[in-house]
Structure formats: C-alpha cells, structure tokens
Amino acid sequence: MTDLKLTNVGKTYGGAVEVLKDINLDIKQGELIVFVGPSGCGKSTLLRMIAGLEKITSGELEIDGMLVNDVPPAQRGIAMVFQSYALYPHMTVRENMSFALKLAGKAQGEIDEAVNRAAKMLQLDQYLDRLPKALSGGQRQRVAIGRSIVRDPKVYLFDEPLSNLDAALRVATRIEIAQLKEQMPDRTMIYVTHDQVEAMTLASRIVVLANKGVAQVGSPLELYERPNSEFVAQFIGSPAMNLLPGEVIETGEQTRVKLAGGGEAVSHYPTQASDLGLKVNVGVRPEDFETCESDELFAGEVNITEALGEVTLLYFKADEGQEPSIAKLPGIHKGMRGQTVKLTAPADKVHLFANGTSLLYR
Amino acid sequence: MHPAFLGLLTIAIGVGGCVAYYFFSNWVLDNVLFPAKGPQAGRNINRANLIRPWLFLFPAMIALGLYLAYPVIETLRLSLTDRDQDGAFVGLANYMQMFGEPKFWEAMRNNMLWLIVVPAMSTMFGLLVAQLTDRIKWGNIAKSLIFMPMAISFVGAAVIWKLIYDARPEGTEQIGVLNAIYVAFSGGAPQQWLTLPIWNNFFLMVVLIWIQTGFSMVILSAALRGIPEETIEAAIVDGANPIQIFFKIKVPQIKSTIMVVWTTITLVVLKVFDIVFAMTNGQWSTQVLANYMYTQLFVANDWGVGSASAMMIMLLVTPILVWNVRNARKEMR
C-alpha cells in the first residue's frame, strides 16, 4: 500500500512569498496523477516538494502512512524524471542508470540485471555504452526514465518530461509512458505538465492548480464535463469554453437563461425558484455549438475562420476588450467571413456559472 | 616637459599612428594600387581583398617577429657559441657544461618539485574555496579576499612572505608570524626557515600557491556554476551525499576546466623566477631554472650557458603550452 497523502501543505519563500497553501490531496497506490495549471501556479514546486528537493514550509506529506517532511529524497522511495533529463554527461547510459544502485551498495550482478531489464523495456540495449551526448532527445528521455525504473521506486515523479521533445516524438513518448504505466499497475505516478492532451490522455485523475491552491481534482472527463468553476472550465479544453452573460428566467430540472446578447439557452443544470433573476455566465464549449435556423443561443458575425480540415474554427466579432466567442464546427466551411451565424447547443452541454463557480457545485 | 604630458603625447602618437596606418594603407590599397574601377575593376577588388588581411596583420607580425621570434632564434644561436672564444661556434659544449653542473640539476629537481606541488595545491585549494563559497551569503567577500593576492606582484608577495618567515635572535621578540607561533607553541629556538634544506623549497612554493589559488578559484567557481542544477538534483534523488555529489557529479563535469587551470599554473611555475630571486636567490638548495638562467646570463655573464638554460626552459614549457591552448580552444567550442 503506497498511498501519498498531502495535508494542508504550503510553501512560502523567504517567509514572505507564498506560492502554495493548504494543498490537500489523497493519492492512491497505482494512480497516475497529473498536475496541470497555468505557468507559475506552483505545480513543479509541489512536485519538487514531494520529491524532497524543496522544503515543505507547512503541512504534512505522508508516503505509505509515514510522515516524510524531513526525510531525504533518496529515502522517500521516489524517483524523478526531469524536464531537461538531467543525465550525468560524463557517464555512459549504463553508468547513468546504475548510479543510484551503486550508491545504495547493491551487488554488481543485481545492478547489471536491473539495468539490462530496464534497457530492454525501453529499447536502449544497443546504447548502453554511449555517452548522453551521442543520443537523440527521445533516447535521452528514455534513459532518464530508465534511471528511475532501475530503482523500482514506489512513486514516479515526472516534471514536464516531454516538453523538450518535438511534436511527433512527444506523441510517441506519451504513448510509451502510458504503456509503461500499464506494465506497472501498482506503481504510483505523478506527472506535471502544461499540455492538456498529455493530461487528458494519461491521467487517472487530474489536479488543476490555480491561485496557490487546488482548483479541482477529478478524472479527465469529470473535469471536462463537470468543471466546478469558470477557471477549470476554461482551462480544460481547447479552444477555451465560451462564457456568455445572461439572466435566469426559468428554474427547475432544467434552467432557461436569457442571454445579454439576445439569445436564449437551456441548461441541464437544475435550479431552485429562488434563483430566478440570477445573473449567470452560460458556458458552452466551442465544439458543442451547432448551427441552427431559429431559437438561437448565440448569433454573431464571423470575423476569422481557421480551417483545420476535420474542423473549422469560427471566431466571432466581439466588443472591444471582450474575448471573442469561438465555435468549432465539423468539416470545412469556406467563405463564412462576414456572415452572421446562428448557433445553439444541446441542453446537456450548457454549463452555468455564478460568481465564477459552477451551479452544480454550490 | 612634464612626464604626464609626455605620456599623453606618447599615447596620442601611438594610437593615432595605428589608426592612421590602418586607414591610409587601406586607402592606398583601394584607391592607388587596385582601384575598383576601370576595365579591371573585378580583378582589382579580388586582388585587394587578397592583400588586405596581410596589410592589417603586418604591424602585429613585425612586433611578434622582433620581440618573440628573433629573440628565440638569437638565444638558440648564442647557446651554441662561446663567450671566451669570441662567440665561436662550439656545438653543444654549453649544454654539456650545463649538464655537468650540480647547480643545474638542483634547479631541475626543484623545478620538478614546484611543478608537482604548486599546480596541485593551487587547483585543489581553488576548487575547495570555489565549492565552499558557492552558496553562502558572504561567499563573494571571501572570494574577493582570496583573489586579492593575484593583484600583488611576485616580488611584493616575496617581500611579504619574507617577513612572515623572518627570524630574530633567540630571546628577542619575533616579528615573523611563523616564528612567533613556532616559539610560542614549541618553546624552542626560532628557525631560519628559508635555510632549512628541502623544506625551504616548500616555504617558497607557499607564496606562489597563495597567489595562484585566487586564479584557480575564479575560473573553477565559474565552471561550477555552469553545471546544470538538475544533474545535481538528480544525484540527490539518486541518493548521493554531498561528498559523492562533489566528486562523482561536479568534478567530472568540470574536468577539462580543471586541466586548463592546472596547466596554466604549470606554465607559471616553469617560469618562476621573482619569488626565488627575491627570497633566497637560489641559496640553500632552492635554485630553480629561471633563476639559474638569470645567474648565468647576468651575474656570471656567460651567455652561452645562460642561453642553453633558457632553451631548456622553453623546451619544457612548449608541450604544455600547446596542450593548454588546444584544450582552451576545445572549451570555447
């Protein structure tokens, strides 16, 4: 049982600059947790605190039921893969991978076995005697992962491991990491990224960090379908969810909203009678919009179109200082610029937020 | 005329002369010798461009030839001639005479001692200081203090250390720090440190180590800062303790810089003269090659043997110099 438990964990630099506060997380053995968040939200700091590279200034970190706040990194049963791979440049691949075991005083035979097994797993067998500088980016990345595997840690920590790879390699390595996780179902992995696709595809649960704290924790689809705030709603999904101001005009199992822009929306979010007249933001993801002839939710003049082949993005004209609304329509739509388009969305795809918070999580 | 004014005038003439040379020689090349017009314009431009680098290198080549190449050749020639026979060619007689002198072999032995001890100790202390001062608040102050001896001339440093090794008659108050401490702790008689054979060599080396530690510290400190932080963190996660991190992660990564520092100090050591000259003048078995050469050339006035010993020093320096320059170039790439 290797559960990881964070209780009211906080980080302050120099007694004044607070970067994280009151982080509470319960990570079960075998989970693949992804930390996402805007840059500077402290996701890497949190990972480094779990690793033991940053001091935890407040709160408690437990691994396997043991308080490890002051336990040195090597004794926490963790291994870390760094963004820049952090391979020792003067050591061969084999030496890089066996360094930790050597320090731990393992027998040479045991070390060789572990290294060879990891090398086979990562298809590095032919490169064992090369120096890191003679390897490609993807190979270096695999050595970095191999260095973690040989130690057979209880918890793997990944700090944006794919951000230095080119797009094609990133996809391939992402799949490799997913396969690696499948081969080690009882090992916990914590993965930091700013790439949504990585988060959505790899995670068993995503932790969205914002404003020094946890914004929402949940499975990828939970975050996509039931975001608890405007922040999470706009952070997950690309392009970001449209937010349109309006006022509740009918409550009940479903809610009807009159939009400031003129249209009307029906949402599957339930409301009470007391919510009548409530100022809300109606959230619709660009991909949930459909064109319609009448009873539209939104109507606007197309300003820019981006044809991506499988879909076309429509950017609508917006008032100065306001985010333009975006619709993602399947297929190719040419010559829509300057046209007025009417859009609607099915009730179960329409989200409602009041004061930044989802009406589902009140 | 006031000397300061003379100095300014010299600078003005020197700098002005240089500017004038480059400007006018270039002008003559482009406008008089190979003008870029007329029927041969293309050919002229090509020819001018072929000559231009040599035109600009000319002053430097003259200076190098006059002050570097010529003295080397002249020294080689002198080392093959004899003073007493009015400069007649005597082959390797001077070298033979030199190899027969015990003072020369003493100088060779001492130079070898210097060669091993000084670069090793300077590099080691420099590395130690660089590492220890890396992350502390007053590290920069400590580094400035340790770097300061670099600014003192070798002779000045020799004088300072002569005072440290100074000995007064027994019973009187010792002004030499070393004797003061020695007398206070051992209660024995004050020692004439610079006359104790073999040991006095090391007392002289201390002066150069004191000076060169600052140099190696500065270079190695920069190299240490250049080590990617993540490799150190990876080592921490891998379970390395600070000493293992230093020797297994940091030192191997700056190995080539350490070698450059080491060889650079080696070159200084091979040429060491001032310290020995000012402190013992080679007495009490402290002779070194450069001081031996000086004694032969300017005290005994024997240009033959003096030049032979100069060639000897050059022979020893050259391979290290070549290696050093190559390595430094590799570093830069």
This complex has an ipTM of 0.80
What type of residue is B7?
Answer: G
Chain B closest-CA separation from residue A44 CA (Å): 13
Enumerate the residues of chain A whose CB falls inside 8 A of the CB of residue B258: none
Dihedral angle computed from the Cα positions of residues A295, A301, A303 and A309, in that order, rounded to the nearest 10 degrees: 40
Q: Is the pLDDT of residue B15 over 90?
A: yes
Which residues, 6 or more positions from A362, have their beta carbon under 8 angstroms from its beta carbon? A354
Domain boundaries, chain A: 4-235, 242-361
Q: Is the pLDDT of residue A360 over 60?
A: yes
Query: What's the CA gap between A185 and A192, in Å, rounded?
Result: 19
Which of B137, B229, B238 is best to mutate for the A interface (most A CBs within 10 A)?
B238
Query: What's the CA gap between B108 and B289, in Å, rounded?
Result: 6
Enumerate the residues of chain A whose CB falls inside 8 A of the CB of residue B253: 88-90
Q: Which residues 104-123 of chain A have a CB within 8 Å of chain B?
A: 104
H runs (alpha helix) in B139-283: 139-147, 154-164, 177-186, 199-225, 229-238, 242-244, 251-253, 255-270, 274-279
Query: What's the CA gap between B147 and B213, in Å, rounded?
Result: 7
Asked if residue B314 is part of any domain, the answer here is: yes
CATH topology of domain A242-361: OB fold (Dihydrolipoamide Acetyltransferase, E2P) (2.40.50)
Query: What's the CA gap between B77 and B315, in Å, rounded?
Result: 15
Chain A closest-CA separation from residue B62 CA (Å): 44
Asked if residue B213 is part of any domain, the answer here is: yes
Is A308 touching B (CB cutoff 8 A)?
no
CB-CB: which of A73, A75, A84 is closest to B230?
A84
Domain boundary among B50, B79, B108: B79
Residue B253: closest CA among chain A residues belongs to which residue?
A90
CB-CB: which of A85, A90, A100 is closest to B238?
A100
Domain boundary among B22, B54, B79: B79
What type of residue is A166?
Answer: D
Q: Give A92-118 pLDDT, tens digit per residue.
A: 999 999 898 888 888 899 899 889 988
Q: Give B111-152 pLDDT, tens digit per residue.
A: 888 888 999 999 999 999 888 888 788 888 888 888 888 888
Lowest mean pLDDT among A241-245, A275-279, B181-185, B231-235: B181-185
Sign of the alpha-carbon torsion through A109, A110, A111, A112 = positive
Residue A273 to residues A250, A283, B83, B142, B327, Cα–Cα distance (Å): 8, 21, 120, 74, 82
Asked if residue B85 is part of any domain, the answer here is: no
Average pLDDT over residues B265-281: 84
The encoded tokens of residue A290 equal 């459909």
Pair B188, B236 in one domain: yes
Query: What's the CA gap between B206 and A196, in Å, rounded?
Result: 62
Is residue A173 within 8 A of residue A179, CB to CB? The reply is: no
Asked if residue B84 is part of any domain, the answer here is: no
Is residue A141 within 8 A of residue A165, CB to CB? The reply is: yes
Residue holding tokens 């001062």? B133
CB-CB: which of B237, B252, B253 is closest to A73?
B237
Kindly report the average pLDDT of chain A as a whole number. 88
Query: What's the CA gap between B121 and B134, in Å, rounded?
Result: 20
Enumerate the residues of chain B whose CB falls inside 8 A of the CB of residue A90: 252-253, 255
Structural domain boundaries enclosing B231:
94-332
Contact A100 B239 (CB under 8 A): yes
Chain B closest-CA separation from residue A51 CA (Å): 7
Pair B50, B125 in one domain: no
Contact A80 B234 (CB under 8 A): yes
Q: Which of B218, B232, B203, B248 is nearest to B123 (CA)?
A: B218
DSSP per-residue string spanning A184-205: -TTSEEEEE-S-HHHHHHH-SE
Lowest mean pLDDT among A26-30, A192-196, B172-176, B298-302: B172-176
Contact A86 B228 (CB under 8 A): yes
pLDDT band, very low/low/confident/very high, at B331 (cuts 50, 70, 90): low
What pLDDT, on the 0 to 100 scale, is given for residue A284? 92
A311 membership: H or E segment, kind and range: strand A311-316
Residue B231: closest CA among chain A residues belongs to which residue?
A86
Chain A closest-CA separation from residue B236 CA (Å): 7
Q: Is the pLDDT of residue B332 over 90?
A: no
The encoded tokens of residue A30 equal 């075998």
Which residues, 6 or more positions from B7, have their beta carbon under 8 angstroms from its beta carbon? none
Pair B105, B144 in one domain: yes
- B193, with CB counted inside 10 A (0-12, 13-18, 19+), is buried
Contact B237 A80 (CB under 8 A): yes
pLDDT band, very low/low/confident/very high, at B333 (cuts 50, 70, 90): low
Is A82 touching B (CB cutoff 8 A)?
yes
**CA A228 to chain CA centroid, nearest Å:** 15
Chain A closest-CA separation from residue B321 CA (Å): 26
Omega before A239 cis (within 30°)? yes
What pLDDT, on the 0 to 100 scale, is given for residue A207? 92
Is residue A349 within 8 A of residue A285, CB to CB? The reply is: yes
Is residue B282 within 8 A of residue B291, CB to CB? The reply is: yes
Asked if residue B325 is part of any domain, the answer here is: yes
Residue A153 to residues A74, A186, B170, Cα–Cα distance (Å): 10, 11, 69
B128 membership: H or E segment, kind and range: helix B102-132
pLDDT band, very low/low/confident/very high, at A161 (cuts 50, 70, 90): confident
Asked if residue B167 is part of any domain, the answer here is: yes
Is residue B159 within 8 A of residue B172, CB to CB? The reply is: no
Pair B167, B243 in one domain: yes
DSSP per-residue string spanning A149-191: HTT--SEEEEESTTTTS-HHHHHHHHHHHHHHHHH-TTSEEEE
Which residues, 6 or more positions from A244, have their beta carbon under 8 angstroms from its beta carbon? A259, A260, A261, A265, A281, A282, A283, A284, A297, A298, A325
Pair B75, B173 in one domain: no
* A-B contacts (CB, under 8 Å): 62
Query: What's the CA gap between B166 and B279, in Å, rounded?
Result: 11
- The CATH number given to whatever domain includes residue B104 is 1.10.3720.10
Q: Give A287-340 pLDDT, tens digit per residue.
A: 998 888 888 888 888 888 888 888 999 998 887 777 888 999 888 888 788 888
What pLDDT, on the 0 to 100 scale, is given for residue B137? 84
Is residue A357 within 8 A of residue A279, CB to CB? The reply is: no
Query: What's the CA gap between A31 and B244, in Å, rounded?
Result: 34
Pair B75, B120 in one domain: no
Chain B closest-CA separation from residue A226 CA (Å): 38
Average pLDDT over residues B220-237: 89
Contact B237 A74 (CB under 8 A): yes
Residue B324 to residues B33, B110, B125, B143, Cα–Cα distance (Å): 42, 23, 21, 25
Pair B68, B156 in one domain: no
Residue B32 to residues B20, B279, B291, Cα–Cα distance (Å): 17, 60, 54
Kindly report the average pLDDT of chain B as a whole number. 85
Query: What's the CA gap between B222 and A143, in Å, rounded?
Result: 29
Chain B closest-CA separation from residue A52 CA (Å): 8
Enumerate the residues of chain B whose CB falls inside 8 A of the CB of residue A147: 234, 238
- Go through A54-88 and write b for each residue having 16 or more CB atoms within 10 A of its CB, e for each that does not: bebbbbebebeeeebeeeebbebbbbbbbbbbbbb
Enumerate the residues of chain B whose CB falls inside 8 A of the CB of residue A99: 235, 238, 240, 248
Chain A closest-CA separation from residue B258 CA (Å): 15
Domain boundary among B14, B47, B79: B79
Query: What's the CA gap between A341 and A332, in Å, rounded?
Result: 15
The number of distinct structural domains making up chain B is 2
Q: At what angle do helices A137-149 and A167-183 cross, to 10 degrees?
A: 20
Pair B69, B103 in one domain: no
Asked if residue B114 is part of any domain, the answer here is: yes
Is residue A160 within 8 A of residue A44, CB to CB? The reply is: yes
CATH superfamily of this structure's domain A4-235: P-loop containing nucleotide triphosphate hydrolases (3.40.50.300)
Return the number of other C-beta atoms located less than 10 Å from residue B171's C-beta.
8
Enumerate the residues of chain B whose CB falls inside 8 A of the CB of residue A51: 237
Query: What's the CA gap between A193 and B298, in Å, rounded?
Result: 74
Query: What's the CA gap between B30 and B164, in Å, rounded?
Result: 64
Pair B64, B120 in one domain: no
With an 8 Å Cβ cutoff, the interface of chain B facing chain A consists of 228, 230-231, 233-240, 244, 248-249, 252-253, 255
What pLDDT, on the 0 to 100 scale, is given for residue A1? 52
Q: Give B230-252 pLDDT, tens digit per residue.
A: 899 999 988 888 899 989 999 99
The encoded tokens of residue B201 equal 């060599």
Asked if residue B58 is part of any domain, the answer here is: yes
What pLDDT, on the 0 to 100 scale, is given for residue A185? 87
Query: What's the CA gap between A23 and A16, in Å, rounded?
Result: 18
Enumerate the residues of chain B whose CB falls inside 8 A of the CB of residue A100: 237-239
Which of A80, A150, A157 is best to mutate for the B interface (most B CBs within 10 A)?
A80
